[in-house]
Structure 1
Amino acid sequence: MRTSVTELRVLRMALLAALGFDLAACADDSSSDDEGSSGSGPETSGEGESAESESGSTGSDAESGSAESDSESSSTDSADTETDSTDTGVDPYTCEDPQPILQAGTELPSGFVTCADGFVHRVEAVECAAPQPADDETCDGVVDAICQTGDDCTAQGYAACKQDMWGQCTCQYGCASDDDCDAGEICACAGVFDDQPSCIPADCTADAECGQGLCGLSKYEGCCDNSYHLACAAPDEACHTNADCGAGSCLEDVPEPIVDYQCSESEGAWTCGPPGWCGCDCGRPLMIDGQPRVAGPSRRADASWMAVGIEPELRELDASLRAQLAARWAEIGRFEHASVASFARFAAQLQALGAPPALLRETAAAMADEVEHAKLAFALAAAYAGAPVGPGRLDLRGAGVSARAQLVAAQIVDALIVEACVGETLAALEALEAARWAEDPSVRAILTRIADDELRHARLGWRALAWLLERGGDQLRTAASRTFTLTMAKMRAEPEAPPAERASSLLAHGHLDAALRQQVRARGLAEVVAPAARAALSPSTKIRAASLA
């Protein structure tokens, strides 16, 4: 992580200043935030664990070490118990009625089999009968596309030009055998999980490498698409299929919506957890019925949603990397576009509560910022894709504002904590970290601007929260404390994401891989969000009236 301790402290102090604290006092207390976040801040009146105690559990290295030590001690005791007894609490897994998965359009085995319960594992490596994916006819003749046919794609063999989920024509590559893939990958033939062969990450290549276990196919449902990898699954894993998992909260802020948890492998263990798309966000998401809502992608004939003068360096980028960058920036643009509606709803909610002029002015300015963020992101997406990109129509059904002020107050506090106090704060930190890695000056400048704007939006959220809590009394403060606790606990408990393809290349172009993103979020929660939450939840926190005029 390249963001420095000093930059984290500056970010924290900016939020405390937004809450009305004197900056000189913040400077005097800054070291105590780092060293004593296990309970030195103001107590909260939340139900269960407070935001203060939650932050204390993972605040400093010493505290996290203590927590880990307790966890390790507990797991060691558990391991000792298992050594003395053959009962692990989990019935050993057996693949019932295994059926071979055939290569698409053939009677040839793919090397994978599926069990009666749906668990898929690889028994052997085989040659793929159809290693060459077919070109998409819709790409032929498309002007300024990355490719029109597979002949335009030269990075690997078995190339095809296909339309991706964003409507862009990009290079995709097949394979005939594991030898066609990079080290640490295997070739999954057409029919295993897609209608074309592809190389996927693999910690094992066949069941024989897994002892008494099986070389299982793990599926991860991410923001943009599904990803797959192979990993050994021991007979006593916590799960083998989604049917072994129950349901739970998708998002970290509220108990709803409830989604079916999924079984996947991470860090050597098969466990249940929410699907990866539950955590899809960029800045302030538009939440409707507990789920983020964005417009669909659109290949536009005009350039109205693209900022002018954005020219990233393209000369040394292969077609595959350009396609990934185009997809990622298009996704960011869609979330920034939806943020405009989120702030519009926020403004209406504030007006329903009689908010002071400053909060409304800052909200209007934030809407304008998000329009520019979306245009910058779509401009980068278009530059990488070689074609205009923009948002489609945004479905706003269910996004209305309640007329009951008391209900609105509770909803605003809940949304502020998730979308602004936590979401915007971490978005600012993630953009700052991405800017530190970006090598392209154009991309670095855009990320730096986004980081500055997101910090200002976070300050707005914290100021609005303090104003609401000052008016709402202990009941609202208690609810806020509980939301902070649940939000931070859920984010800290997120499972490790699978390894990203070409992570270093994407990082050089301003996109954090999942592991670094989780590291940034953990630091941000412990060193920025938690201290600010303790300050905001303190009954003594008062927003200066002059700053709200």
Structure 2
Amino acid sequence: MLLDRSFRRTLIARLLLSAGPSTAAALLVAAPGCGGENEAAADTRCFDWDDELGACLSREQALEEFRTIHPLCASEEEIVSVESDATPRDGACCYEVIAEPAGPCAVGRPFSLEGQRRTAAPQPAEAGWLARGKDAGLGGRQPSLGDLTDEERETLAEGWLRSALEEHASVASFARFALDLMALGAPSSLVEAAHIAALDEVGHARVGFSLASAYRGEPVGPAALPMPRGVPVAADLVALARAAAEEGCIGETVAALLAAEQRARAEDPAVRAALEAIADDEARHAELAWLTVAWAIGAGGEPVRGAVADVFEAAALSLRRPRPAEAGPPRGRAAALAAHGHLGGSTLRELSCAALAQVVLPCARALGLWSPGDLDSTRAPGVS
């Protein structure tokens, strides 16, 4: 499944501030990721390519890129060989390939304690966690409910409520992140950005609760967030970098791309306004995570780099594990839900996988944070 090309290319460029133009160019690969959709025939795969970059990649180079990006997700197929030289086509370099079936695929910044994600319970709410006015992220609008069935409204209310509770928990996650940074001597720019990100998440939560309330027909918000008396901070730079890689470089980057995809498919003006703001904010949060990892490696050296590499390696391995097939809603109902920003579980899974395959792991490789090494070593046990 291909992610929105414009947003993907822009996000890659933002994340690769330290990469040279040749490195960045190689990452503008439109690999199908979790499979299914392609821009050409089923046996053809194309790289985005600019004429200023020179000649297309050779067969061997193209296969390396496909093997690096495509199988990490292993949802539908694996590219096993490139059978032709490149054919330039509409700003892309296209190749005839042989693909074999592979196995299925992996998302924001959670608030976790003792390995468990924490979110508040929902409860009837007054206006405290609802969006207010034109500055609240809904463009001064409310979603249109006229053509929705009761079942569709219930699904949308549940989906936006779940999202709102996760965004609410992210406020706490960024607050703790700011403490981690200060405890480990991070520069003020990172600390400042962490606090700004926490405020962004307050806005996202308000928008989510407002949309959930609109679809539900009554106001809903968060109860108290479960919190121990003492919230631990990162013990050292290794712990900080590992968390930033997991929750930010992976989680927030994927979240930004998912929000952009939801916005692209949404039709309701209020929902589109909300998702546009969320996608932009999550992209900045992703940048913060990658900058934090770079600072931590600069300060802590190889032990930190190794811990970060382990995070990306685990992500690559996890995407090779087969997942059960999921039945989606009927086509008409799926379209109605997508118009209001709700995508089914299988679609989100495929998009998440594509985000990892097309953006996260290639960026990690380009920045020297992770190397796939021998392709066979990235296979999970029992996956062929």
Taking structure 1 as the reference length, what is the TM-score of the superposition?
Answer: 0.53
Contact 2:72 2:316 in 1 (8 A): no
Pick the aligned partner of 1:371 from 196, 202, 214: 202
Deviation at 1:58, TM superposition (A): 3.7
Distance 1:60 1:490 in 2: 10
Pick the aligned partner of 2:124 from 287, 292, 299: 299
Q: Check if 1:532 corresponds to 2:360.
A: no
Mark the structure with the bigger radius of gyration: 1
Change (3 A) 1:60 1:517: closer
Tell me what 1:312 maps to.
143
Deviation at 1:499, TM superposition (A): 1.3
Tell me what 2:110 maps to.
285
Deviation at 1:398, TM superposition (A): 7.8
Tell me what 1:448 maps to.
276
Contact 2:73 2:319 in 1 (8 A): no
Deviation at 1:3, TM superposition (A): 3.9
Change (3 A) 1:28 1:53: closer
Tell me what 2:7 maps to.
7
Contact 2:213 2:219 in 1 (8 A): yes
Tell me what 2:79 maps to.
65
Distance 2:180 2:292 in 1: 11
Deviations 1:90-114 (A, max 9, x none): xxxxxxxxxxxxxxxxxxxxxxxxx
Tell me what 2:160 maps to.
329
Distance 1:411 1:494 in 2: 29
Deviations 1:458-488 (A, max 9, x none): 0000000011012221122112111111023
Q: Which moved more, 1:361-370 or 1:502-511?
A: 502-511
Deviations 1:324-351 (A, max 9, x none): 1111111110000000000011110111
Distance 1:388 1:360 in 2: 34
Deviation at 1:493, TM superposition (A): 2.6
Between Structure 1 and Structure 2, how many residues are aligned? 317
Contact 1:2 1:437 in 2 (8 A): no
Deviations 1:105-128 (A, max 9, x none): xxxxxxxxxxxxxxxxxxxxxxxx
Q: Structure 1: where are the runs of 5+ without partners? A: 41-51, 76-266, 268-272, 274-278, 540-549
Distance 2:74 2:344 in 1: 24
Q: Map 1:138-177; keep pairs closer than 5 Å.
A: none
Deviation at 1:321, TM superposition (A): 1.0
Distance 2:355 2:63 in 1: 16
* Amino acid in the other structure paired with 1:13: A
Deviation at 1:6, TM superposition (A): 3.8
Distance 1:464 1:64 in 2: 33
Change (3 A) 1:388 1:469: same
Change (3 A) 1:57 1:399: farther
Runs of 4+ in structure 1 deviating by more than 6 angstroms, as ranges, are: 67-71
Q: Map 1:83-482; keep pairs closer than 5 Å.
A: 283-300=108-125, 302-308=126-132, 309-397=140-228, 400-402=231-233, 407-482=235-310
Distance 1:469 1:393 in 2: 36
Contact 1:434 1:507 in 2 (8 A): yes
Pick the aligned partner of 1:21 from 16, 19, 22: 19
Three-state SS of the structure 1 residue aligned to 2:364 is helix
Deviation at 1:384, TM superposition (A): 0.7
Three-state SS of the structure 2 residue aligned to 1:463 is helix
Change (3 A) 1:432 1:483: same
Deviation at 1:65, TM superposition (A): 2.0
* Amino acid in the other structure paired with 2:192: R
Tell me what 2:311 maps to.
483
Deviation at 1:55, TM superposition (A): 4.5
* Amino acid in the other structure paired with 2:165: R
Change (3 A) 1:394 1:2: same
Contact 1:37 1:531 in 2 (8 A): no
Contact 1:350 1:360 in 2 (8 A): yes
Deviation at 1:427, TM superposition (A): 0.5
Distance 2:241 2:27 in 1: 26
Change (3 A) 1:483 1:528: same
Contact 1:382 1:388 in 2 (8 A): yes
Change (3 A) 1:444 1:60: same
* Amino acid in the other structure paired with 1:515: S
Deviation at 1:383, TM superposition (A): 0.7
* Amino acid in the other structure paired with 1:305: W
Deviations 1:139-179 (A, max 9, x none): xxxxxxxxxxxxxxxxxxxxxxxxxxxxxxxxxxxxxxxxx
Distance 1:423 1:494 in 2: 21
Three-state SS of the structure 2 residue aligned to 1:304 is helix
Contact 2:73 2:320 in 1 (8 A): no
Deviation at 1:397, TM superposition (A): 2.1
Pick the aligned partner of 2:351 from 499, 517, 520: 520
Change (3 A) 1:398 1:495: farther
- Structure scoring higher RCO (CA < 8 A, sep ≥ 6) equals 2
Distance 2:285 2:325 in 1: 28
Change (3 A) 1:494 1:345: farther
* Amino acid in the other structure paired with 2:188: P
Deviations 1:270-299 (A, max 9, x none): xxx9xxxxx8x5x21112222211000011
Pick the aligned partner of 1:508 from 327, 335, 339: 339
Change (3 A) 1:328 1:352: same
The percentage of aligned residue pairs carrying the same residue is 37
Three-state SS of the structure 2 residue aligned to 1:363 is helix
More strand per residue: 1
Three-state SS of the structure 2 residue aligned to 1:64 is strand
